[in-house]
Amino acid sequence: MQLKDQVALVTGGGSGLGLAIVERFVEEGARVAIFDRSQERIDDAVKAFGDKVVGIAGDVRKVDDNNRAVAECVSAFGKLDTFVGNAGIWDYSKTMVSTEDDELSSAFDEMFAINVKGYVLGAKAALPELYKTKGHMIFTASNAAFYPGGGGVLYTATKHAVVGMIKQMAHEFAPHVRVNGVAPGGIGGSNLAGTSALSQEGIKFSDIPLDDLMKQMLPLERAFNAREYAGAYAFFANRRDNTPGTGAVLNFDGGIGMRGF
Ligand code: NAD
The CB density around residue 27, as the number of other CB atoms within 10 Å, is: 15
pLDDT, mean over the chain: 97
* Cβ–ligand 1 contact at 186 (below 6 Å): yes
56, 51, 92, 52: which is closest to 194 by C-alpha? 92
pLDDT tens, residue by residue, 3-37 = 999 999 999 999 999 999 999 999 999 999 999 99
Q: Is residue 163's pLDDT more than 90?
A: yes
Express each pLDDT in 185-215 by its tens digit. Answer: 999 989 999 999 999 999 999 999 999 999 9
pLDDT at 259 (0 to 100): 83
* CA quadruple 109, 114, 119, 125: dihedral, nearest 10: 100
Q: Is 155 a catalytic residue?
A: yes
Ligand 1 pocket: which of 84, 91, 187, 227 to mutate (most atoms within 8 A of CB): 187
The rounded Å distance from CA 110 to ligand 1 centre is 14
Per-residue pLDDT reduced to its tens digit, 60-74:
999 999 999 999 999
Residue having the nearest C-alpha atom to atom 40 of ligand 1: 186
- Ligand 1 centroid to Cα of residue 261, in Å, is 32
Q: Tell me: the pLDDT tens digits for 101-152?
A: 999 999 999 999 999 999 999 999 999 999 999 999 999 999 999 999 999 9
Question: So what's the ipTM on this one?
Answer: 0.99
**pLDDT tens by residue, 164-173:** 999 999 999 9
At 241 the pLDDT is 87
Over residues 208-253, the pLDDT tens digits come to: 999 999 999 999 999 999 999 999 999 999 999 888 999 999 999 9
Angle at 39 between CA 37 and CA 41, to 5 degrees: 90
Cβ of 140 less than 6 Å from ligand 1: yes
d(CA 232, CA 128) in angstroms, rounded, equals 25
pLDDT of residue 261: 77
Alpha-carbon Rg for the chain in angstroms: 17
Q: Please calculate the CA angle 211-217-221 and round it to the nearest 5 degrees.
A: 60
